[in-house]
A and B are shown apart, each in its own frame.
Chain A
Amino acid sequence: MNKNIHIQGCLAGKILWVDLSKKRIWTEPSQEYNNLTLGGRGTNSLIMLRNIKIGTKWSDPENLLCFGVGSLVGTMAPGACRVDVSTINIFNRGKGSANVGGSWGAELKYAGYDNLIIVGKSKKPVYLYISDSLVELRDAQYLWGKDVFTTEFILRKTLGKEDIEIAAIGPAGENLVRGSAIIVDTAKAAAGSGVGCVMGDKKLKAIVVRGRGKIEIADPGRFMTIVEKTYQKCKQNPATRLMRQAPLNLYADSEWEGWYTNMVTRNGQDDYWESTKRQRLMNSQNGVPSMIKGVRACYLCPTGCLPFLEIERGKYQGDKGEGFWINTIMGHACRLDISEPEAVVESWILTNQLGLDGDYTASVISWAFELYEKGIISQKDTEGLVLNWGNSDSFLALIKKIAYREGIGDILADGISLAAKRLGKNTEYYSSQIKGQPSIEPFRIPKGWALAVSTSPVAGRHLRGATMGSIRYGPKPRPGNFNSTDYVGQAQGVVWQAKTKELEDNLGICSYVSTWSGANFLEVSDLLELINSGMGVNLCEEDLMEFYAVKGRNLEKVFNLLHTNLSRKDDLPPQRFMREKVKKGPYKGVKMDKNRYNKILEEFYTLWGWDTQTGLPTKTGLISSGLAEVVEPLIQRGKLIEK
């Protein structure tokens, strides 16, 4: 049963459709979709479900590339800046989704659009120019082949404008590297599911946006009261200071010695990194923190977690760029055993510049390093590169080879499954893949984290329920157990966190500002008040958590069931982490126990209202989350439990 709501504020009002094959541009009202989903990712998911025929491949012109700006973006809700990018997942034909901040989304809303849907394929490279109601496809031949930074520079220069926002792909997306990202503002990546590869396949180099319109709210006075309250919380909370340099704090400060400082090392051989290496990378005298020239924030964000770094010595001197994340450390340092700060920062700048997904890049390259160590590949296969652990020159060289599909890079650009078929010898065992997508996540020590990553409908990424942050800052009591190293209570914690993430992605609120980080500037009750006063509706917390959030998850689950053969076996962590134990350090001897994992998986299915054994949705469950329209197609494919 759908909720009968009629949103009266916060929206821009239109969905912009662009058909690249027919060069046709049109709009439709966005309100009806948003009434059903609350916006953002939910609306993207619904559009995909209704418009993409079963059997469509990612590279078919009929595949959609959907940009869904969160429904609170453009307002003063703290951290409201995020955009969901959804398309067919390159790695498994299911639902693909990535999420990005910056100012691009707000600009699109001020231009008048809540969602932008790209369909078809252009024959020649084009870029899309949006300036309020002026929407044009323009020649991008002169930009094709250029990296992200150069593209941004040329577009700003030729358009002569400083006040535009740009989302672009780099050579990786153009060359159809599976792990390509769409880069906003040169440094924020919509990464995962191969979204940049789909954009490249459509020959769409960039989307330039300028908006001059306004966003109105249903009850401005009431809305500003809750805005003020949440800004005050942020100002007063001591966590704010820590959040502003979270990765640096986590890694530099030994007081926070925990599982999150024992990330996956050497491609998954261990979950322990020597503290001397950590010190070398993160010490404040000459480690990464010493390269920080300033910190930046995405649009309307009171947290501000984006360091701007400049390398001042050594062979990469002069290179600069924004962003340094936990994932940078997990993927580009520990995973390859690289502790030279300059090299790690350089590798991160390079992935943005070339338009790569950093996680994908680290996962496939560390896999190649391990195959080299095991003698499965040799210098003959790597054009002479020596792939020994800690070799940053080889790491950087491989990043470029992947983006340009040169030599072994051409094999690694196709994802691990295909590469493993070509290389044989049980090579897939050494990979970290979930539902076909290379991953860099930990699967042994933090049980809830592993559960969230393994069950993520968009394959192998942690922002669909992983529960790290809430351990640290001691928030209000949460359901379940947030000590991620236990099995008990993990499923409740993960489901709760995943539900809040559904809401955050629909509203466009950064999870770091909301429930995920544990600082909780925005609790669910605050989100509710922002929605009710901003949109002029009258919902309760249960509507958010038990209806809209469940619906959001089901939309993606159903897309996967209709379009793929993914099943329970695809919700398991990679085999290796259930067989090989942690070898050294405080977690020595730990692995993921398969039986206990299966138990928490079943608890997890049950909590979502799915069948305990198969994880399939039930008829009543779907109807009560407002998805009666998918019941028939699921029955036809034998993917629904009829109760």
Chain B
Amino acid sequence: MKIIRDNKLCYGCKTCQLACSYHHTRSFWPEKSSILVLRSPLTGKIKWSINQTCDECLNEIEPLCVKYCTYQALKIAK
């Protein structure tokens, strides 16, 4: 399983980043997220990355990052 993102659909809201931190810590702690979202206010560009700490949301019913992306920019690639 792999999480992929469609740049065209992404609004840069960082909800995926925070949801992931909740999965790891049961608190809201962006530092501990597997996802990092950076936005350049000057160009409007969004940089999104995922690191190796992603455990594919072990023990969750579905990956929280995908679940809470209301813009439907994230998908699971099997």
Binding site for B on A (CB under 8 A): 74-76, 103, 110, 149, 152-153, 162-163, 185-187, 212-217, 220, 224, 228, 231, 234-235, 240, 293-302, 304, 308, 320, 322
CB distance from A111 to the nearest CB of B (A): 11
CB distance from B71 to the nearest CB of A (A): 7
* Inter-chain contact B12/A296, CB cutoff 8 Å: yes
**Residues in A whose Cβ lies below 8 Å from that of B43:** 320
* Inter-chain contact B27/A302, CB cutoff 8 Å: no
Q: A231-B68, A300-B15 are in contact. Are A153 and B42 (CB under 8 A)?
A: yes
Which of A152, A153, A214 has the largest number of chain B CB atoms within 10 A?
Answer: A214
Q: How far is the CA of A587 from the CA of B14 in the complex (A)?
A: 44
CB distance from A354 to the nearest CB of B (A): 16
Instruction: Please report the total number of B residues contacting A with Cβ < 8 Å.
Output: 32
Check: B35 CB closer than 8 A to any chain A CB.
no
Q: How far is the CA of A149 from the CA of B41 in the complex (A)?
A: 9
Which of B29, B36, B39 has the largest number of chain A CB atoms within 10 A?
Answer: B39
CB distance from B26 to the nearest CB of A (A): 5
Q: Which of B1-54 contact A (CB under 8 A)?
A: 8, 11-15, 18-19, 21-22, 25-32, 36, 38-44, 46-47
* Inter-chain contact A297/B29, CB cutoff 8 Å: no
CB distance from B43 to the nearest CB of A (A): 8
Q: A296-B39, A302-B13 are in contact. Are A308 and B27 (CB under 8 A)?
A: no
**Residues in B whose Cβ lies below 8 Å from that of A103:** 14, 39
* Inter-chain contact B42/A186, CB cutoff 8 Å: yes
Closest 6 CB pairs between A and B?
A214-B29, A297-B13, A308-B44, A297-B11, A302-B70, A186-B41
CB distance from A300 to the nearest CB of B (A): 5
Q: How far is the CA of A185 from the CA of B38 in the complex (A)?
A: 12
* Inter-chain contact B27/A215, CB cutoff 8 Å: yes
Complex partner residue of B70 from A185, A217, A234, A308, CB under 8 angstroms: A234
**Residues in A whose Cβ lies below 8 Å from that of B18:** 76, 300
CB distance from B69 to the nearest CB of A (A): 9
* Inter-chain contact A152/B14, CB cutoff 8 Å: no
Q: List 24 A-B contacts (CB under 8 A).
A: A74-B28, A76-B19, A76-B68, A103-B39, A110-B29, A162-B40, A163-B38, A185-B41, A186-B42, A213-B31, A214-B29, A214-B32, A217-B27, A220-B26, A220-B27, A228-B67, A235-B70, A293-B44, A294-B44, A296-B11, A300-B18, A304-B11, A304-B71, A322-B41
Complex partner residue of A322 from B13, B25, B44, CB under 8 angstroms: B44
CB distance from B15 to the nearest CB of A (A): 5
Q: How far is the CA of A256 from the CA of B43 in the complex (A)?
A: 33
* Inter-chain contact A76/B70, CB cutoff 8 Å: no
CB distance from B70 to the nearest CB of A (A): 4
**Residues in A whose Cβ lies below 8 Å from that of B68:** 76, 231
